[in-house]
Amino acid sequence: MQFDGEASEGVEGFVHQALIYDSDEEFMDVALPFLEDAALLREPILVTVQESNLDNLRAALGGFPPGVTAFSVEQWYDTSARTRERFGRWVAEHENGGRVRVIAEPLWAVGYEARVRDWARHESVLNIAFAEHMLTFICPYDSRVLPAEIIEHAGSTHPEIVDSDGAALSELYEDPLEFCRRLDTSVRHPAGDPETELTFGLADLPGLRRTIRSLAIEAGLPRVRADEVVLAVHEIATNAVIHGRSPATLSVWHADRELVFEVSDSGQGIKDVLAGQLTPAPAGLGGRGLWLTRLLSDAVEIRNGTGCTVAIHATAPAFSVAG
């Protein structure tokens, strides 16, 4: 197959395609020529897919040739924001004025609605984060194990759908701002009453950090991960008391192997649907708190209404993933 077909012909910048497959053969029919073309054109390529797909590619090629960077999804993927930063570093190190390629299979925490939305936003934000790069990026979706909702997200977040016949424009594709705004309307308050609820001000932040750490340790998070969660929630709590409007409240739920920390205040809210999604400019002032929180959290969601609520999700302990 060819990857410079009608849908992406003449495109000089970012090409973002979803590969929706329901057999090993359908995956290989697209992924193998993609790697072979990269080798032929001497274009660096990053491959991070399910272990079985990685093994099939390695066997078909007789080992990965020079120019291929290969990882299993477990080795490469982290939080969505950390993973996006990792992609950015790899692209910056390898593009050298020419086109580079990525085939990367997202990890989906099936059954965890906030984390599914978080990764769907990630897929959409890629269109903005890499818009100026000479990058062809294919995201495989295994329809044998992924629910219809996630497959639908693939069409909404990728301008093109690719299969063994080539690439075609996605009829479902949405502008990233509109897609993220639509997902934000699905964000809901966690079910049930919070296990912990505290009202706090600036002077209470040290005690709040101690409380968050104790809750994280009690929930089973390793100490290093607990410290990351403390920092993530602290950043949002600090923003609430400095930039929001009192009262500021922390509410905590622990259910279904997940900790959810909600920080609420009575301020104007966060209107930018991409807030914290893109790496802040090195010389920029402010705007780093929410970005840092996204780096450290399994999902971050914002609800605006009567005031503003930021929900920080942390796994306790590790969840199983599919796709």
Segment 2-17 mean pLDDT: 63
Per-residue confidence (pLDDT) for residue 287, from 0 to 100: 65
Dist. CA 291–CA 276, nearest whole Å: 4
Per-residue model confidence as pLDDT tens digits over 70-89: 999 999 999 999 999 999 99
Distance from the first to the final alpha carbon of the chain: 24
State residue 320's pLDDT score.
38
Residues 6 or more apart from 280 whose CB is under 8 A from it?
287, 288, 291
- On whether the CB atoms of residues 264 and 194 are closer than 8 A, the answer is no
Using CB atoms within 10 Å of the CB of residue 59, give its burial: 0 to 12 exposed, 13 to 18 middle, 19+ buried.
exposed
**CA–CA distance, 289 with 202 (Å, rounded to integer):** 16
Q: What is the mean pLDDT of the chain?
A: 91
For the segment 120-145, the average pLDDT, to the nearest whole number, is: 97
- SS3 state of residue 75: helix
Between CA 278 and CA 84 the distance in angstroms is 9
Predicted confidence at residue 203, as pLDDT, reads 94
Domains and CATH numbers, the chain: 15-184 (3.40.50.300), 196-315 (3.30.565.10)
> Is the confidence at residue 135, as pLDDT, over 50?
yes
pTM value is: 0.92
Span 29-63, pLDDT tens digits? 999 999 999 999 999 999 999 999 999 999 999 99
pLDDT of residue 257: 84
The rounded distance, in Å, linking the Cα atoms of 81 and 166 is: 30
How many CB atoms neighbour CB 196 within 10 A? 14
Cis link prior to 247 (omega < 30° from 0)?
yes
> If you count them, how many residues does the chain have?
323
CA-to-CA distance for 219 and 232, rounded, in angstroms?
16
Question: Of all helices (H) and strands (E), which one includes residue 125?
Answer: helix 113-129
Q: Are strands 135-142 and 100-104 parallel, antiparallel or unpaired?
A: parallel
pLDDT tens-place string over residues 197-250: 999 999 999 999 999 999 999 999 999 999 999 999 999 999 999 888 888 999
Q: What percent of the chain has pLDDT over 70?
A: 93
- pLDDT value, residue 321: 41
For 127-156, b/e burial (b = at least 16 CB within 10 A) is bbbbeebbbbbbbbbbbeebeeebeebbbb
